[in-house]
Amino acid sequence: MKYEAYFKTFLTAIEKQLQKVLPPQQQFPPVLHEAMRYAVFTGGKRFRPVLTLASCEAAGGKWEDALIPAAAIELIHAYSLVHDDLPALDNDDFRRGQPTCHKRFGEAMAILAGDGLLNLAFHILSLPKPATRAIALLEEISTAAGTYGMIGGQVADMTASPNLSLPMIDYISTHKTGKLIKASSVSGGIVAGVSKKKLGYITKYGEFLGLAFQTVDDLQDGDGYLRIAKPEEMRQKVRDLISQAKDQIRQLGLKTKKLEALADFLLERMPKTNHVAMDR
C-alpha cells in the first residue's frame, strides 16, 4: 500500500489541524498569512507529524491528543524550509515543484512568514493540558529546533571545511535533520504519558529514523555522507538503521505496526541506483 493510503486518517487529521491553527488568509495583514499558508499547504509528505501521531498511539495514547505537537512540528519544518531557501542560505527558486516562498512573496515577507510560523508553533505548544505536558513538549521541541538541534546543525553545515570528516557529517546529519525527527517521535510519547523506559525506546527509534532520513536524502542528492563513502555502503547503513529502529520500537509491545511501516516507507524511498554526480 502507498504511504498516502496507509496513513490517510492521520494525513486528513493533520491537514484539518493545520487549517485550524493557521490564521485565515484574510486575517490582517493578509499578505503575511497568505505567505504562511503558502509555505505550509504547497505539498509536503507530513512525515514528522505522522510520526508524532503514530508514536503517541504506539505508546498507548490517543493519537488525536497529539495533533497539537504534530502541527507545531510541521510549522517549524515549514519555516525551516522557507528560511533555508532564501538567497542568504541555499538560494533556491523552487520547492516541491512550486516557486519558493521568497520568489512568490519577496524576501522580506518570506523571512517574516518563517518567523510567524516558528512563533505560532510555540504559541500552540503552550496549549496542551496539563501544563506539565505543555512544558515537556516545549522543552523537547525547542531544543530540537534550536542551537542544540536544527540551527546548530545548519550552521555546522554552512561553516564546515570542504574536506568533511565523518564525525562532522555525523554531527550535521543528527542535528540538522535528526533532532526534529527524534522530537517528533518523543512528543508522541510525552502526550501518551509513557514510562521513562518506554520513552527510551521511542527516543532511540526516532534517532535511528532521523539519521536514516538524512542518509536517504544524501543518497538522493549525492551529498553529505556520499562525500566520503560509497553509495552501496550508505545504502547498507540505511538498511541497518531501519532495522535498528524497528528493533527498538518492537520492545514497546503495543500498536507498533504503523511505526514499523513508517520506517519501511523510508526504506522504499531510498534510491536503488547511484546519484549521477557521485557515481564512483
Q: Report the alpha-carbon distance of residue 56 to residue 22 in Å, rounded.
A: 23
Peptide bond into 271 cis (omega under 30): no
Q: Report the alpha-carbon distance of residue 8 to residue 12 in Å, rounded.
A: 6
Nearer to ligand GRG, 45 or 60 (CB): 45
Nearer to ligand GRG, 58 or 150 (CB): 150
Stretch that binds ligand GRG, among 18-26, 77-85, 159-167, 243-251 (CB under 6 A): 77-85
Least distance to ligand GRG from the beta carbon of 176, Å?
A: 5
Least distance to ligand GRG from the beta carbon of 44, Å?
A: 3
- Exactly one of 52, 100, 177, 248 binds ligand GRG (CB under 6 A); which one? 177
- By CB under 6 A, tell whether 73 contacts ligand GRG: no
Least distance to ligand GRG from the beta carbon of 207, Å?
A: 15
Compute how many residues bind ligand GRG; rule: CB under 6 A. 16
- Exactly one of 3, 47, 105, 225 binds ligand GRG (CB under 6 A); which one? 47
- By CB under 6 A, tell whether 185 contacts ligand GRG: no
Least distance to ligand GRG from the beta carbon of 196, Å?
A: 29
Nearer to ligand GRG, 65 or 84 (CB): 84
- Exactly one of 8, 16, 62, 96 binds ligand GRG (CB under 6 A); which one? 96
Neighbour-count burial of 188, counting CB atoms closer than 10 A to its CB (0-12 exposed, 13-18 middle, 19+ buried) = buried
- By CB under 6 A, tell whether 211 contacts ligand GRG: no
The residue among 227, 231, 230, 188 whose CA lies nearest residue 206 is 188
Angle at 158 between CA 116 and CA 240, to 5 degrees: 95
Angle at 231 between CA 228 and CA 232, to 5 degrees: 125
Contact 216, 266 (CB under 8 A): yes
Least distance to ligand GRG from the beta carbon of 47, Å?
A: 5
- Exactly one of 84, 92, 115, 170 binds ligand GRG (CB under 6 A); which one? 84
Stretch that binds ligand GRG, among 14-22, 147-155, 197-205, 245-253 (CB under 6 A): 147-155
CA dihedral 119, 121, 124, 126 (to 10 degrees): -70
- By CB under 6 A, tell whether 103 contacts ligand GRG: no
- By CB under 6 A, tell whether 217 contacts ligand GRG: yes
Stretch that binds ligand GRG, among 6-14, 54-62, 82-90, 123-131 (CB under 6 A): 82-90
- By CB under 6 A, tell whether 89 contacts ligand GRG: yes
Contact 269, 263 (CB under 8 A): no
What residues make contact with ligand GRG under the rule CB under 6 A? 44-45, 47, 77, 80-81, 83-84, 89, 96, 150-151, 154, 176-177, 217
